Amino acid sequence: MERALIILKPDAVQRGLVGPILTRLEQRGLKLQGLKLMQVDEALARRHYAEHEGKGFFASLVSYITSAPVVVAVVAGKPGTVEMIRTMVGATNPAKAAPGTIRGDFGVEVGRNLIHASDSPESGERETALFFQAEELIAEWSRVTDPWIYE
């Protein structure tokens, strides 16, 4: 199974969009392996956004992600899952995101774009390890709907 880390950012939590966004992921057939509400501290935010350190927007990323609670989730599916999730999420700039995507339907500005999704299977594994301990994940469990989702 391929997995991705999803972060429903402070704007998604504050606007009451956690349920609708998670519903879209589940309705698509993705399987939850971990889910929690948390307050991201500065050290974790800096590790998560390390690839952006030194860029002009780094400080605002850290400040924003630590400003209020977030919901983090690990979702899994067959190979290609990360790419599928990225398509569902839409362009980083919600003004350019296609209608029907999460950002296209709910977002307005880049700085309030609701959701983070891993950009590769490797990032999914690295980011999952930042936010979840192994014992917090339920990687292997069966749903009665799985045969109706996967061939």
Active site residues: 116
Beta strand pairing call for 115-117 and 70-77:
unpaired
Reduce the secondary structure of 63-115 to three states and give it as a string.
Answer: HHHCCCCEEEEEEEECCCHHHHHHHHHCCCCHHHCCCCCHHHHHCCCHHHCCE
56: which DSSP letter? T
CA distance 108 to 98: 12
Which amino acid would we find at residue 66? T
What element of type H or E holds 127? helix 121-131
